[in-house]
Structure 1
Amino acid sequence: MDFELPETAQAVRDGVAAIGARYDHAYWTRCDAEGRFPQEVWDDLAEGGWLGLNIPEEYGGGGQGLLELAVANEALCASGGTAGTFFYVTTPGFGATTIVRHGTPAQKELVLPGLAAGRTQFCLALTEPDAGSNTLEITTSARRDGDDFLIRGQKVWISNVERADWMIAVTRTIPAEEARPRTAGFTLFLVDVKEALAAGTLSYTPIPKMGSNILHSSQVFFDDVRVPADRVIGQVDGGFAVLWDVLNPERILAAAGGTGSADAALDVAVGYAREREVFGRPIGANQAIQFPLAQIKAKTELARLMTYKAAWLFDQGRDCGNEASIAKLTGSQVAWEAADQAFQTLGGMAYSKEYPVERLFRDARIAKNIPVSEQLVLAHIGTAQLGLPKSY
């Protein structure tokens, strides 16, 4: 067994970390407070080729895999840009991974060069108000209209739609109550967001949020959005397999963001614990401070290992569902625990916006709920890996 990161991944880690070092916590906090997209960081990542890592070289990408993408996301979050995980989940994750693996030659030519250059952004429209995590019950429909399809329905918590050029829209072409098996009747579409917005058939409303405010999350409304039939991703009625191939990378990238976020929070806490003196010595000398931080370090390294394993399995074309679930669970948990312990380490000062802990705290909490809730991950581990009866 070789636990050494490939040279490609090491180069990615160092390159993205160098960009992250140009932008301090104060920069990310300002962007969060202003609800402003960190365009400068995006442009630097694009210029360095760090956004097109998993795109084949013939389309201008790096020709690498999900492991390198996960390492890039981890490094960006570790630099302090914890909400920057959405950079890698929404565009290289949802967009590039899906089109590279399931797009037609024409679809690849249409979107991959722009993705590789950082000119193009993506979003995924899956979650619905009445379905939530029960994807099988979505009701957004697509119906034939000549050579096109018309999409009608509503989605919620769709991140980056305000900046997206393209959307992967998950629809039902067979209603859930008629589908046999229940996973039949899903169809995924490549939707031109700006065209649909201009036509007035697509609209969205941002949702005010607690954290991760560098990207909006929105309710999205489809009012007969017209999509040509050649924009179907995969097969009509056979999109569930494509969707599952999207969700595993999403969980792995979320796990990478969690480990990077834990690194960021731990770095702030350790720095404060070294410098802050009470009763004549640094507070980090006290085991009540030191031991919890050491626990966080141990848990972060464990989450990192599982994240890398899951990404490696995906790149090898092997089943990674179990590993992706464990990586997502442990990565999100340690991100939250690290932010919470950083808060405790800084004491009352953590409550002040003078320090980045309150932002790290807000950004970390949502990871326990998205892209899949902690309870559903545990249910999957219990049924798929322990063989226990299914509860859902």
Structure 2
Amino acid sequence: MVILTQILVLIGVIWASAYMRARMGTALTVAGAALVLLTMFGEFKVIPWLLFGAVALLYFADDLRKDKITRPIFKMFRSVLPPMNQTEREALEAGDVWWDGELFKGNPNWKEMLAYEKPELTEEEQSFVDNQVETVCNMVSDWDINFKDKDLPQEAWDYLKKEGFWGLIIPKEYGGKGFSALAHSTIVSKLSTRSGVLGVTTMVPNSLGPAELLLHYGTEEQKNFYLPRLAKGDEIPCFALTAPKAGSDAGAIPDTGIICKGEHEGEEVLGIRLNWNKRYITLAPVATVLGLAFKMYDPDGLIGDKEDIGITVALIPTSHPGVEIGERHYPMGQAFMNGPTRGKDVFIPLSWIVGGQDYAGKGWRMLVECLSAGRGISLPSSSTATGKLAYRATGAYSVLREQFKTEIGKFEGVEEALARIAGSTYQLEATRLMTAGAVDAGVKPSVVTAIAKYHMTEAARDILKDSMDVHGGRGVIMGERNYLSSGYMSMPISITVEGANILTRNLMIFGQGAVRCHPFVFREMQAAANPNEQQGVEDFDSLFFRHIGYGLSNFIRSISMGLTSGRIVKKPVPGPTGRYYQQLTRMSSALALVSDLSMAVLGGELKRKERLSARLGDVLSYLYLSSAVLKYYEDSGRQESDLPYVEWNLKNNLHLMQKAFLEFFENLRPAWLGKVLRRVVFPYGIWYKKPSDYLDHTIVKSMFNHNELRDRLTCNIFVGDENDPVGRIENAFNKVLATKSVAQKIKKAVKEGKLAPARELEETVATALAAGILSQQEADDYLESEALRLDAIQVDEYSKEYIAGQFEEGLKSAPERAA
């Protein structure tokens, strides 16, 4: 009995130490002290002391441990480590670990997250959004761009250049705006609510392209020459990476550059002879400077003893001899400038390599490190634009459109779709702000930006689907009035850019996150790859045994949190959201445990088990999205109106995490391990439920009237006047809301028998006016609001000549035909 008591005490000490993530030395000290006390006030028993002594000996006897235990494990680990090509290595090493690392390690420091600075626009940035961005939005018609002219109007091109839209990220010292990532995101978002083409034409020069590459890696000479010209619009940039046989697999780029001597500006110089064939290159048809990624070789050893130099990036004027810009591609539903570029035996000097000769072969790492702007800023901003526009316009339309004398927003089926739009838009805006804030803080979060790109574009796709369902025929008939069709058709473009979402979810998020975000795995891999075996063993020893302690801690924490439903976790904030932090910490610990065991059991095979790794990536993603929602709630002042939106998103995300875990356990092999993990993580079975119907109803209500939350969630979008697509809906919405009391008077009078409704609205109103039920002003306002309601739900119609593309022939809109 004494032995059992002493062993149980040791286990209790170890359990508590592991839960609290105590260091091994601290845990041994506490365990030793407990044994001493038990021995002093009880009996001396050999077995507990032997167990304690064996562990202590291994911990304190460094040389013995390293020689007898660590070295054999090190050699085995090195032998089974999956091969990694240069492209994979550079992708893993690129970028920074940020909040994703906290989420992955199982014990997030929520106070650290809440202390991140709130992202806000400066006065100058907000002024640019309110003035220059508003002005250029008023210059264009999305319908004319995509279905008539197939291009932006010339005045819009000129204005974009003149006002520095392509120099948003270029510092002021080079003539650019020097705006923040948040401003870049907000500007692109607002432009996209007016026209996807306008948004794309602005986002590309400010994301992955010559300007960003030059800022990070360019020589002083390259910066001084190109950046001022790019800022002023004297140069139009494009960047060529994708080739017919190499899309997401950059290592397969067939485009080559051979180092040789050639003639440039009348002199023989050392340079590169290039051959390339690229496609899908945005702005290529109008570009004046081409950023080009290619594989570089030095067969004659002209710059060193290495023949295969690696992926390299160069800047080439499109007017340079041999550079060919092809005809235009026609992206689905969006007529932005996009096309192929080719070159055969094009000679350029080595000085045209971005960063100069020192950066030869470093192109892939340069590109991956700069992906944060495209993946984390540009694409999420256009996705958020989709959510904001749909939230405002679809909510308003649900008030304006009536079926069976009832606003369609009051039907539960419609309400279900609207709830998804509302909840998703809140999360989109929260994630946009948090991700842009990270970039502005100087972080290049490669995993977080992959999460943002995938989940935000997918959310936008779902929002558009739901919006189209709510609008019905109003959404499918194309024309100037339609604010959904263009985005609905073009949504696959955002899904495809920066790698199709299948790739992003199945390979990138967890594939990269498991290694980079894990506190030990990447460093263990680096230690195993060290050519100096002795140094490798030294580094590996500390990492490996800390990794074991980390795994034990996650196991104990997961069991403890599962059995207590997370209630033992300390809440970082008071109030109703505190419980959600507890649940997220529980899921974070479960992710750390399951990821570790999966990597241990499957090893390199996990990389090829894409569907398994994707599900763990989903858990990491929903943890990040939930974090963004909670941060946005706090940054917005913990508004009471926001709380249902926070609850909706957190409930939904926890439910989706649970679903991902359960599907992972169901498909994990060996099957027994999946069953054990399921019991550890969810000891009481299915725990997290989807948002209730009542919660759906609660969050939808704010879409149907004027309120601070509606304005905040849809701020910085383009609405326009009553002649613009969204402006027409918004104007009618405002008038209908303003006359709701009049409508109620009429309904009440009819119900009480004081007013007999006529077939025509005008006659009913005239009768109400004559009976003194309405004043003249009320009657006039009500008739005007109902006329605007009818106008807002109309669709466009055109002559057969116009439909056939003869745009100058007999254009008539619906009101004109009715007249």
TM-score of the aligned structures, taking structure 1 as reference length: 0.88
Distance 1:43 1:304, change over 3 A: farther
Aligned to 2:134: 18
Q: Secondary structure at the match of 1:173?
A: strand
**Partner Cα distance (2:154, 2:435) in 1:** 30
1:85 paired with 2:199, answer yes
**AA of the residue aligned to 1:222:** G
**Partner Cα distance (1:76, 1:110) in 2:** 29
TM-score of the aligned structures, taking structure 2 as reference length: 0.44
* Structure with max Cα Rg: 2
Residue pairs, 1:31-180, within 5 angstroms: 31-33=145-147, 34-78=149-193, 80-93=194-207, 94-146=209-261, 147-174=270-297
Distance 1:150 1:309, change over 3 A: farther
Residue pairs, 1:257-296, within 5 angstroms: 257-296=382-421
Contact 1:189 1:227 in 2 (8 A): no
Contact 1:186 1:238 in 2 (8 A): yes
In the TM superposition, residue 127 of structure 1 has moved relative to its aligned partner by: 0.7
Contact 2:371 2:446 in 1 (8 A): no
In the TM superposition, residue 256 of structure 1 has moved relative to its aligned partner by: 1.2
Distance 1:10 1:222, change over 3 A: same
1:309 paired with 2:424, answer no
In the TM superposition, residue 4 of structure 1 has moved relative to its aligned partner by: 4.6
Deviation digits for residues 86-115 of structure 1, max 9, x if unmatched? 223321222321212211112112221122
Contact 1:265 1:339 in 2 (8 A): yes
Distance 1:346 1:233, change over 3 A: same
Contact 1:166 1:191 in 2 (8 A): yes
Contact 1:96 1:112 in 2 (8 A): yes
In the TM superposition, residue 306 of structure 1 has moved relative to its aligned partner by: 2.4
Number of residue-to-residue matches in the alignment: 379
Aligned to 1:231: 352
**Partner Cα distance (1:38, 1:244) in 2:** 34
Distance 1:127 1:174, change over 3 A: same
In the TM superposition, residue 20 of structure 1 has moved relative to its aligned partner by: 5.5
Distance 1:98 1:88, change over 3 A: farther
More helix by proportion, 1 or 2? 2
Distance 1:225 1:22, change over 3 A: same
Q: Secondary structure at the match of 2:336?
A: coil
Q: List gaps (5 residues or longer) in structure 2.
A: 1-114, 262-269, 299-305, 515-594, 600-605, 611-819
**AA of the residue aligned to 2:441:** Q
Deviation digits for residues 198-223 of structure 1, max 9, x if unmatched? x34423132333222132x2232221
Contact 2:136 2:159 in 1 (8 A): no
Contact 2:390 2:421 in 1 (8 A): no
Contact 1:85 1:254 in 2 (8 A): no
**Partner Cα distance (2:168, 2:493) in 1:** 26
**Partner Cα distance (2:444, 2:167) in 1:** 24
Indicate which of 484, 487, 492 corresponds to 1:365. Answer: 492
In the TM superposition, residue 140 of structure 1 has moved relative to its aligned partner by: 0.3
Q: Secondary structure at the match of 1:390?
A: helix
Distance 1:351 1:204, change over 3 A: same
Moved more, 7-16 or 131-140: 7-16
In the TM superposition, residue 62 of structure 1 has moved relative to its aligned partner by: 1.8
Aligned to 2:502: 375
Contact 2:165 2:202 in 1 (8 A): no
1:390 paired with 2:607, answer yes
**Partner Cα distance (1:291, 1:139) in 2:** 49
In the TM superposition, residue 332 of structure 1 has moved relative to its aligned partner by: 0.7
More strand by proportion, 1 or 2? 1
**Partner Cα distance (2:367, 2:607) in 1:** 22
Distance 1:38 1:101, change over 3 A: farther
**AA of the residue aligned to 1:134:** D
**Partner Cα distance (1:295, 1:14) in 2:** 29
Contact 1:127 1:156 in 2 (8 A): yes
Please provide the CA RMSD for this pair: 2.5
**Partner Cα distance (1:371, 1:59) in 2:** 28
**Partner Cα distance (2:485, 2:452) in 1:** 25
Q: What percent of counterpart residues are identical?
A: 21
Q: List gaps (5 residues or longer) in structure 1.
A: 176-180
Distance 1:205 1:103, change over 3 A: same
Distance 1:230 1:82, change over 3 A: same
In the TM superposition, residue 54 of structure 1 has moved relative to its aligned partner by: 1.3
User: Looking at both structures, which has the greater relative contact order when contacts are Cα pairs under 8 Å and sequence separation is at least 6?
Assistant: 1
Distance 1:39 1:327, change over 3 A: farther
**AA of the residue aligned to 1:128:** A
**AA of the residue aligned to 2:331:** K
**Partner Cα distance (2:419, 2:127) in 1:** 28
Distance 1:39 1:119, change over 3 A: farther
In the TM superposition, residue 261 of structure 1 has moved relative to its aligned partner by: 2.5
Distance 1:104 1:212, change over 3 A: same
Aligned to 1:3: 118
**Partner Cα distance (1:376, 1:307) in 2:** 21
Contact 1:174 1:186 in 2 (8 A): no
**AA of the residue aligned to 1:364:** M
**Partner Cα distance (2:168, 2:183) in 1:** 7
